[in-house]
Amino acid sequence: MKILTLALCALFGATLAADKPAKAKVGIGANAPAGKPYIYKESAGKPRQMEIYFPPNHDPAKAKVPGMILFHGGAWGGGSLAQFRIACAYFASRGLVCATAEYQMLSKADAAKLPAGVTRKRVCVTDAKSAIRWFKQHAGELGIDPHRIITGGGSAGGHISALATMNPGLNDPADPKDIDTSVVAYVWFNPAFATDDDKDAEIDILRHLKADLPPAIAFFGDLDGWKKGWDTAHAKWKTLGTKTIDLQIATGQSHSFFNSGPWQTVTLIAADRFLVKNGLLTGEPTKTMPASGEKLVPTP
């Protein structure tokens, strides 16, 4: 694995230095230790980095555990790997190999040059698909089961993770064609499903929903302006007969509430229990619910 990392580093002419947090708000994860860095591809002439966290005493030659890959938010144009460092470290401590991956983001100036009907979100999805494929392709070296991959993310990252696994298009031609991006579960932190995405069919989540959605847990504040887009998608899933979504509401909270304590702890415990319920973790959460009493409200 070390040889692979160094070879990729030489190929892209880049070092695997820790990701520098962007100016966008990333919550209390900004000071969390970075995971082990890997370059999973090059896009737009730049290496794209993934940080991976491993369970204690993890031996890839002996263990094939579930893997999780999370994508940060930032309005498809900002954010950093710092957002999910705490979450990745926690889920690794619980037995998963957990990764968080960056992706190409277009500036507003570059986005303005795109053809009509094409949004800046497409390049994000393409790189997310590459990240999932790389994660599966290197399952042996990482000690994960490629048939038990979980994905998700926060805000824009939630949307990106959904399209990367549901939309059959937006593939990088350089990706291995024999590796798909299917997953066995989703962990979504207020995914940003925009109601005006219908202008670009490739990134409109409503055009890619199917009844057979793998188990998914989604967290939202009831005051989140992005909840309208989620509600529209959730309603369509219901009309399709989907019954695999666990929606958890934080009363009185707005967008990105999950980034800060005590809600970060509350959502991680709920996600942990969801993964245990679906056979992807075992045992009890090792975090403790806050004494201040914050709780999520399950919603049908």
Rounded to whole angstroms, how far apart are CA atoms 53 and 34?
8
**Apex CA 234: angle with CA 232 and CA 239, to 5°?**
95
Question: Based on the structure, what is the number of domains in the chain?
Answer: 1
Taking the CA atoms of 97, 31, 37 and 47 in sequence, report the sign of the dihedral they define.
positive
Cα-based torsion angle of the residue sequence 150, 154, 160, 165 in order, rounded to the nearest 10 degrees: 20
Alpha helices for 148-222 (secondary structure H) = 156-166
Q: What angle do CA 168, 114, 200 make, to 5 degrees?
A: 40
Domain around 182: 2-299
Contact 149, 183 (CB under 8 A): yes
Residue written as token pair 């002439």? 45
176, two tokens: 């291995």
Residue 106: CATH number of its domain = 3.40.50.1820
pLDDT string in tens for the chain (300-residue length) = 443 443 333 333 333 333 333 333 444 555 689 999 999 999 999 999 999 999 999 999 999 999 999 999 999 999 999 999 999 999 999 999 999 999 999 999 999 999 998 999 999 999 999 999 999 999 999 999 999 999 999 999 999 999 999 999 999 999 999 999 999 999 999 999 998 899 999 999 999 999 999 999 999 999 999 999 999 999 999 999 999 999 999 999 999 999 998 999 999 999 999 999 999 999 999 999 999 999 999 998
